[in-house]
Structure 1
């Protein structure tokens, strides 16, 4: 009897241990590079996720420095098996990451478990995370550049349409005429504020204008092949003309560009959607005029706007196998945040998950709903390991963009130098 009691007790303890093990909370180690307004919002989403999954999954999040420092740390950490379980990644950097063996594939079985599929995403967004018919990340958003505008200044100048958006958005001639009309009012220092002191940032605008001409930066492995040189020259010449005629700010860095717009010294500004929270907060505090944001003007043949995507990726940690339970937890993180990304839209980004942008709640969110139509006209970086945020292509082109946009170098000469240096890198 005593012996049987011991056996029964041992069995109960074993069952209890098995139950505890089965219900053990999974901790998902997370790295991101999100600061500012979108960083605040992602931290809130992480907190909401943890609350919704209490006792099951907990995200342990760390925010690292954006750009080269982040990607360098990922590379070294993967090599020694110390990278996180999940991390944010720019879609534009995925070709290099795949070449370096830094990312795990998001398999068809993974997508099925997450309840996500290709049909949930815009074609350009899905393609941006696809290499050789395999997906290496789950897109969270697209974050293009847009045109911010001061409704008060444009309204007083008679340059708003009946729906409150800027006139002159359909051609180079019409938009230039609008800039000139704003200059003639004397109400602003610059009709248009642009980050003309930072060629890395201006790549976004210039690449958009190339795309409006069906231009390609890379064709069959060659940079600026055929008439693409001329299309890049056209884009540079247009922007240089605006600067030379005092229609666009000269040698302006990023903070100064934002300041020009928010203080009313620039009537319009080309910047990323991530500045939407800045405008929203200032307006709520009574420190900003009435404002709006729309898709870039059509300067050439048709709409086209440069975009990138924040995405979730799973590092390919060397010598460190991820358990099935851990992977399921990571997949739940990516799925839950994707499906609950309406709040992420308040950071200005366009959620990548289609059902969110198709919802009534999103369609009433301004200015997001106004510019979200540009997802049909998005263009991403060429698929090469040389592309991507803080990549070699940005560095080469930046060297020549700044002097050209500020009237110190001829566009044709700049394009010749860019073509030579880009092709010389291969």
Structure 2
């Protein structure tokens, strides 16, 4: 009789399983703009989360990066058709505040996610908050420009130390000396970066500006006071390097990467997101030399490096249920605590416990350039700044031409000031 009861119980249990789970599943709509290696890693994280959380299932959609993504978000949220969670660049936060597309993250929300603001690098929390301290997104990473370099070519020179890191680069003159040496030793474009287009040129210009303590915007004024002189100096440095043949003429993004991979550049300044590219090339033995990456050297008055952050944001939707919001916060907390996998894309996790972990310490070159988290120079807090913004357009139309000799640095900085100021007045 016991045997028959046991068989009956097993059959009942099987029927329950076949009929479906007994929990109430929460479906969460997710939007991101992550392509390439970022997209591969995020899809893997989403799949792992879904496997581990049968009660919460993420349905993810990847949209076009940049301005198209943010236009879609603005339109969708306005008509109540936005996602439940989305990735967001913190450089876009000021414009998001003006558009009213984000829902504030409360202390109770952080508690639900199992997080606190002290878990994150201070610069990221500042960038994710309003001027009065209201948190509007939860940072996921810091992605900045770093200096990739050909270790093999620099071996035995004064610019590499016993540990294989860059050294003796503490002024513009020092950098010019290295690049001139490289030019004389067969590197046709000693320092490569995206010199065609606003993105790469902006990151170079802004890094040099911030290393002088310069500010693009001060109390609503563009390049106020001596910031104009600092902007001119930043452009002049790049223009001098271009005139001497030390940086490429109007290199597209892909071409700039190719110059370094093809041993035509000894240095390459680009985002940390290219780490997987060079790792894959090295593992496939197609690079032909040893590479590494360090924080961008301090060439001027203080350490600073252009940076931005991918963050998680919740759209401003009064109709979102508490159940869905709690599910979203559970997802965010889980992602932060699994951000070591995201670091594989080259990014520095914004979640400090990951960066402080022994596992992260073995991740190279990430662990070596993680110091830049303390020197991250985020874009100006303004509606005219950030990814796909008017500042990028102004750099593309004015600063890049000045670097290539079509305008003087003074003309470019002056016209940029006038153009951007008109958008704020």
Give the number of equivalent residue pairs.
404
**Which residue in 2 is equivalent to 1:8?**
none
Assess if the C-alpha contact under 8 Å between 2:193 and 2:200 holds in 1: no
Residues 157, 185 of structure 1: 8 Å contact kept: no
TM-aligned CA deviation for residue 383 of structure 1: 1.2
Gaps of 5+ in 1: 1-15
Q: TM-score, normalised by structure 2?
A: 0.93
After TM superposition, the structure 1 = structure 2 runs for residues 223-242 of structure 1, keeping only pairs within 5 Å, are 223-242=222-241
Report the secondary structure of 1:307's partner residue: strand
Q: Residues of 1 paired with 2:260 and 2:157: CA distance?
A: 17
Structure 1 Cα separation of the partners of residues 133 and 373 of structure 2: 22
Once the two structures are TM-superposed, the CA of residue 22 in structure 1 deviates from its matched residue by: 7.9
Q: Report the CA distance between 1:184 and its aligned residue.
A: 1.1
Question: Shift of the alpha carbon at 1:21?
Answer: 10
**Structure 2 residue aligned with 1:304:** 304
Give the Cα separation in 2 of the matches to 1:387 and 1:107. Answer: 26
Question: 3-state SS of the aligned residue for 1:60?
Answer: strand
Q: Which residue of 1 aligns with 2:118?
A: 119
User: In structure 2, what is the Cα distance between the partners aligned to 1:397 and 1:297?
Assistant: 22
Measured after TM superposition, the shift of residue 407 of structure 1 is 1.8
Matches within 5 A, 1:267-282: 267-282=266-281
How far apart, in 2, do the equivalents of 1:150 and 1:40 lie? 27
Please give the secondary structure, in 1, of the residue aligned with 2:344: helix
SS in 2 for 1:149: strand
The equivalent residue for 2:105 is: 106
4+ aligned runs moved over 6 Å, structure 1: none
Instruction: Check whether the contact 1:168–1:178 (CA below 8 A) recurs between aligned residues.
Output: no
2:144 is matched with which residue?
144
The alpha-carbon deviation at position 157 of structure 1 amounts to 5.1
CA contact (8 A) 2:399 2:413 kept: no
Structure 2 SS opposite 1:301 = coil
- For residues 83 and 372 of structure 2, the distance between their equivalents in structure 1, rounded to whole angstroms, comes to 33
Q: 2-side partners of 1:113 and 1:170: how far apart?
A: 46
Contact 2:201 2:395 in 1 (8 A): no
Deviation at 1:422, TM superposition (A): 1.1
Per-residue displacement from partner, 1:86-112 (whole Å, max 9, x unpaired)?
Answer: 000000101111111101011111011
Q: Does 1:315 align with 2:331?
A: no
Unaligned runs of 5+ in 2: 1-15
Give the Cα separation in 2 of the matches to 1:157 and 1:133. Answer: 48
Deviations 1:175-217 (A, max 9, x none): 111111111112x211111211112321111111111111011
Q: Is the 8 A contact 2:92 2:383 kept in 1?
A: yes
Equivalent position SS for 1:197: coil
- Structure 2 equivalent of residue 264 of structure 1: 263
Cα distance in 1 between the residues matched to 2:116 and 2:308: 20
In the other structure, the counterpart of 1:9 is: none
On the 8 A contact 1:168/1:177 being kept in 2, the answer is no
Question: Does the aligned pair in 2 maintain the 1:199–1:400 contact within 8 Å?
Answer: no
1:356-398 deviation digits (Å, cap 9, x = unpaired): 0000110111000111001111111111111110011221232
